[in-house]
Amino acid sequence: MQNPDCDQLTIGGCEVNSRLFLGTGKYSADRIIPSVVAAAGAQVVTVALRRVDFDSPQDNILTSIPKDCILMPNTSGARNAAEAARIARLARAAGCGDWIKIEVIADNRYLLPDNLETLKATEILAAEGFIVLPYMSPDLSIARRLAAAGAAAVMPLGAPIGSNRGLKTKELIKILIEEIDRPIIVDAGIGRPSEAAEAMELGAAAVLVNTAVASATDPVGMAEAFGLAVKAGRKAFLAGAGAVRNQACASSPLTGFLQE
Amino acid sequence: MHVQINGKATEVEPGMTLAEFIAMKGLKPESVVIEHNGTILPRERWRGVALTSADQLQIVSFVGGG
């Protein structure tokens, strides 16, 4: 059992003090993001990169993200490894660090990642010194190759992006947690704090949540609930859950009954 | 003169530098990244680059995302 007092998550040489990673998309207004980040206790925060629309300029999202956060730009919009690498290089040129979430998607209905192109992008960008966190469909062979290619963590999906459907890929994620010598971060699909807690109980290193918080009636309240759930799940994992049995096993002594 | 900026033909005064274009659009330099003809240009070089009608620019910034 690990000592909970030394339960430090390290990714790409960075010590990360929160196991809840937060996305910044789909909020009704960017101005609530600081409160959401604070309520979640999140440190790693994702952003996307897009062309500036000169016809309707938007506020700079960076002004809504607390300065002590680690910024993890994603490569959303990339359809292949070359496009992901291009987006990653542009993101790094913004001067906000070396973290990159690789997201290569060629499927518009389910937004499922292209694992092969994701692997290629990981190879390219890890070699260029990025701290690479690939979003992937949970597959053991690809996860092993991602780790070998230099991925700092592996981020399997729980369910399609934005679906709030929960840990539909639980059995496959469990295998990655057992077999892959990298932090496994469940990204996408988690819709409820209980599902985040479940992922952490399984031994996930962290979870990344966006839609579940952003689409809640009270995003700040939901962010806090997720923060608590992630901590509870992690504590439960470290505490080691008892065995599951098919039949009852009495909790009270089976001797000294009054009728004896 | 027209320059391709973010996929659109955009009217730009001849001789205008990248730094001037960004300022004219009211953008903070630290909030955008520029790819000039396929090459990322560091901010300190924007003053020295005068736009031409053959240029292709991508000007990007961070937005909310998951």
Is A260 part of any domain?
no
Is A195 part of any domain?
yes
Q: Do the Cβ atoms of A51 and B7 come within 8 Å?
A: yes
For residue A231, name the pLDDT band (cuts at 50, 70, 90): very high
Residue B39: pLDDT over 80: yes
Q: What is the pLDDT of residue A157?
A: 97
Is A115 part of any domain?
yes
User: Rounded to an integer, what distance in angstroms lies between the CA atom of residue A157 and that of residue A68?
Assistant: 27
Q: What is the pLDDT of residue B49?
A: 94
User: Rounded to an integer, what distance in angstroms lies between the CA atom of residue A207 and that of residue A201?
Assistant: 11
Of A54, A57, A62, the CB nearest to B62: A62
* Mean pLDDT of all residues belonging to chain B: 94
Residue of A nearest to B32 (CA): A94
User: Rounded to an integer, what distance in angstroms lies between the CA atom of residue B54 and that of residue A91?
Assistant: 25
pLDDT in tens, A119-145: 999 999 999 999 999 999 999 999 999
DSSP A193-244: HHHHHHHHHHT-SEEEESHHHHTSSSHHHHHHHHHHHHHHHHHHHHH-PPPP
Is A246 part of any domain?
no
Residue A2: pLDDT over 60: no
B24 to chain A, any CB pair closer than 8 A? The answer is no
Chain A residues whose C-beta is within 8 A of a chain B C-beta are 23-27, 30, 33, 46-54, 57-58, 60-62, 71, 73-74, 76, 89-91, 93-96, 161-162, 188, 208, 210-211
Domain CATH code at residue A158: 3.20.20.70
B31 to chain A, any CB pair closer than 8 A? The answer is yes
- Domain hosting A194: range is 4-239
For residue A95, name the pLDDT band (cuts at 50, 70, 90): confident
* Average pLDDT, integer, range B25-46: 93
pLDDT in tens, B7-20: 999 999 999 999 99
Q: How many domains does chain A have?
A: 1
Q: What is the pLDDT of residue A57?
A: 72
Which domains are seen in chain B, by residue range?
Answer: 2-60 (3.10.20.30)
